[in-house]
């Protein structure tokens, strides 16, 4: 099973959880989205996540550009926090509707199959 290097954020998440339970700190806001297991993603999403880890090169000039979160479905963040990347759609004559949207400091990865109408947080633990 492949484990993304982005999973290293779990260590800091454990520290945050400990601080929350012991010290009464408040946990950061989470998106009101569901989860999707990494293993349940289409193979093209795995390819895109591998490209993100490698830093490119990306197949489309829009890849790596700022995602504005105009739909407001992801947790509010400052401009530039989110980046979007194309997930190839077999048979599509254009970029298709599938994307990975990444968050900067928390390194979260969101998948959308319907061009930003819904998002699922990628769960690397299942």
Residues 17, 24: Cα–Cα separation, whole Å:
10
The active-site residue, picked from 46, 53, 71, 84, is 84
Which residues are within 8 A (CB) of 56 and not within 5 positions of it... i.e. 6 or more apart?
63, 64
Residues 27, 38: Cα–Cα separation, whole Å:
24
Does residue 46 have an active-site annotation? no
The active-site residue, picked from 46, 53, 108, 115, is 115
Beta strands 120-123; 34-37: pairing state: parallel
Does residue 84 have an active-site annotation? yes
- Provide the annotated active-site residues: 84, 115
């Amino acid at each position: 099973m492949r484990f993304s290097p982005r999973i290293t954020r779990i260590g800091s998440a454990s520290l945050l959880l400990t601080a929350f339970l012991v010290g009464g700190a408040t946990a950061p806001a989470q998106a009101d989205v569901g989860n999707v297991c990494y293993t349940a993603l289409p193979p093209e999403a795995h390819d895109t996540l591998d490209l993100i880890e490698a830093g490119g090169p990306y197949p489309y000039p829009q890849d790596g550009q700022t995602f504005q979160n105009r739909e407001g479905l992801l947790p509010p963040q400052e401009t530039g926090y989110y980046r979007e990347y194309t997930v190839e759609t077999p048979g599509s004559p254009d970029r298709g509707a599938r994307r990975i949207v990444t968050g900067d400091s928390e390194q979260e990865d969101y998948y959308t199959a319907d061009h930003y109408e819904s998002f699922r947080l990628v769960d690397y633990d299942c």
